[in-house]
């Protein structure tokens, strides 16, 4: 449930590249015509609604009801904070994110399905309309259930330790850091279930353990590793709700090469401006094609599909920088590779991070996206744009590419650094 304040901030943070993208794709027209969710029969009590403003300090919060409610648990990374005295390693800790929903509260979504089908020109595609509309409905489902603010859930760690997550705030999302987790070796993972397990409709969460030193990959998702057609609102709808998700050709091979290049496999973060609603969709896609790692998504647009399009195209630079800065707080001694593309503000975001934390980022790879009509006639792929974005950053640190094979040599050179 994105507040008016959050929407306004997102709009205010829209930068020049995003403004150019949104204008070229006429995003506002499409967003204004998207159906809004009917929340007239959402049964959020007055107590839950009002007390949700208190967030994690809500004394009136309640445990999740297994009969009527569910929770999504998001994969995370357990890290050791860097102590001022390096001989004194700290215990692992991790940020736990959960989202709470009322089950089976999504109303009839036939209008939304029909709207998307019309916008993408389904009848002209010659596809099986009934089958395609069924797929659209299935992918819309995570956008339809009512949120359940002011809820908590308990989890069980593998050592039997019980912890409580929540309560969730206005967006029914809770974020908290648990300390003194049981330690595991770098690269090991554990699976964590809620109590009872059946409330997690998308299954258990995975915690990835990492040590302070080693390599770290921060990767964008849309049009960097997955075909999304971000510059086109209709392209986004087509690739998100209709098409089978497709990896960018050559990127799975590049990421496998990165994974196997270093003595110890890197820690991976997948960073996207997509809203949390797409977590199940993106998680299954990434697990099928790329090295495992947590997905960092935006707490936005639970309310309407127009907001979904805006979350991908407004304020993405500020959003991504804030998340990367949090990763830096966790893992400031890691050596970092950043991967992004030219459709939005990845060059500008990564350039700022390179200047703010000199030496932390060892390499930036930016994919030049040239196969989307809305990119034509813009300066998104111009040499001047990249030079400006990485002004003050050593030339050898950043590199643009069309084909992932162009990055192989650079990855090999990083092996001994």
190-238 pLDDT per residue, tens: 999 999 999 999 999 999 999 999 999 999 999 999 999 998 999 999 9
pLDDT tier for residue 127 given thresholds of 50, 70 and 90: confident
The pLDDT tens digits of the residues spanning 231-276 come to 899 999 999 999 999 999 999 999 999 999 999 999 999 999 988 8
CA distances from 396 to 274, 312, 405 (A): 30, 29, 17
- Share above pLDDT 70 across residues of the chain, in percent, rounded to a whole number: 93
The mean pLDDT of 114-140, rounded to a whole number, is: 88
If one compares 283 and 15, the residue with the highest pLDDT of the two is 283
pLDDT at 162: 92
Residue 4: pLDDT over 70:
no
Nearest to 372 by CA among 18, 14, 25: 25
> Looking at the predicted structure, is the pLDDT value of residue 323 above 80?
yes
Instruction: Say yes or no to pLDDT of 305 above 80.
Output: no
* Count of beta carbons in the 10 Å neighbourhood of residue 398: 21
pLDDT single digits (tens) 178-194: 998 988 999 999 999 99
- What pLDDT, on a 0 to 100 scale, did the predictor assign at position 170? 87
Lowest-confidence region among 213-227, 288-302, 313-327: 288-302
How confident is the model at residue 312, as a pLDDT? 85
Q: If you average pLDDT over each of 40-44, 81-85, 171-175, which comes out highest?
A: 171-175
- pLDDT of 308 reads 83
Residues 274 and 143 sit within 8 Å (Cβ to Cβ): no
pLDDT digit string (tens) for 15-41?
777 788 888 889 889 988 887 766 555
Non-local CB neighbours of 152 within 8 Å, separated by 6+ positions: 61, 62, 63, 64, 164, 165, 166, 167, 168, 174
Q: What is the pLDDT of residue 108?
A: 72
Least confident of 168-177, 310-319, 324-333: 310-319
- pLDDT band for position 1 (50/70/90)? very low
- pLDDT value at position 5? 47
Enumerate the β-bridge partners of residue 361. Answer: 336
Give me the chain's average pLDDT, please: 90
pLDDT above 80 (res 83): no
- Band of residue 2 on the pLDDT scale cut at 50, 70, 90: very low
What's the pLDDT at 224? 97
Give the pLDDT confidence score for residue 37 in this predicted structure. 66
Domains and CATH numbers, the chain: 4-33+213-414 (3.40.50.1000), 110-143 (no CATH)
How remote is the C-alpha of 166 from its chain's centroid? Answer: 20
The residue that leads in pLDDT, 150 or 127, is 150
What local confidence, expressed as pLDDT, does residue 111 receive? 86
């Amino acid at each position: 449930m994105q507040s008016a304040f959050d929407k306004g901030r997102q709009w205010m943070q829209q930068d020049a590249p995003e403004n150019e993208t949104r204008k070229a794709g006429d995003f506002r027209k499409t967003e204004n015509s998207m159906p809004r969710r009917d929340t007239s029969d959402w049964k959020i009590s007055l107590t839950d609604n009002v007390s949700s403003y208190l967030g994690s300090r809500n004394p009136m919060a309640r445990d999740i009801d297994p009969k009527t409610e569910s929770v999504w648990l998001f994969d995370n990374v357990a890290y050791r904070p860097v102590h001022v005295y390096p001989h004194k390693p700290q215990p692992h800790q991790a940020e736990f994110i959960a989202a709470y929903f009322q089950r089976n509260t999504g109303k009839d979504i036939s209008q939304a399905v029909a709207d998307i089908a019309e916008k993408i020109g389904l009848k002209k595609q010659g596809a099986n309309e009934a089958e395609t509309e069924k797929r659209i409905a299935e992918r819309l489902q995570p956008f339809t259930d009512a949120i359940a603010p002011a809820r908590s859930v308990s989890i069980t760690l593998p050592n039997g330790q019980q912890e409580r997550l929540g309560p969730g705030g206005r967006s029914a999302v809770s974020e908290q850091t648990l300390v003194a987790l049981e330690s595991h070796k770098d690269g090991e993972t554990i699976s964590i279930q809620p109590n009872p397990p059946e409330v997690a409709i998308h299954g258990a969460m995975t915690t990835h353990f990492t040590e302070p030193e080693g390599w770290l990959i921060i990767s964008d998702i849309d049009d960097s590793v997955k075909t999304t057609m971000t510059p086109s609102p209709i392209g986004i709808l087509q690739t998100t709700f209709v098409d089978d998700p497709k990896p960018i050709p050559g990127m799975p091979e590049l990421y496998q090469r990165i994974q196997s290049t270093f003595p110890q496999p890197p820690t991976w973060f997948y960073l996207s401006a997509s809203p949390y609603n797409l977590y199940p969709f993106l998680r299954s896609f990434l697990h099928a094609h790329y090295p495992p790692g947590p997905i960092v998504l935006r707490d936005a647009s639970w309310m309407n599909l127009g907001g979904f399009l805006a979350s991908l195209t407004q304020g993405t630079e500020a959003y991504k920088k804030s998340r990367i800065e949090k990763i830096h707080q966790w893992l400031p001694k890691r050596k970092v590779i950043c991967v992004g593309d030219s459709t939005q503000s990845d060059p500008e975001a990564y350039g700022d991070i390179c200047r703010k934390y000199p030496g932390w980022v060892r390499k930036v790879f930016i994919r030049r996206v040239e196969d989307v009509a809305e990119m034509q006639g813009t300066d998104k792929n111009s040499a001047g744009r990249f030079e400006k974005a990485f002004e003050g950053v050593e030339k050898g640190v950043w590199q643009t590419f069309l084909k992932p094979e162009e990055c192989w040599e650079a990855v090999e050179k990083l092996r001994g650094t």
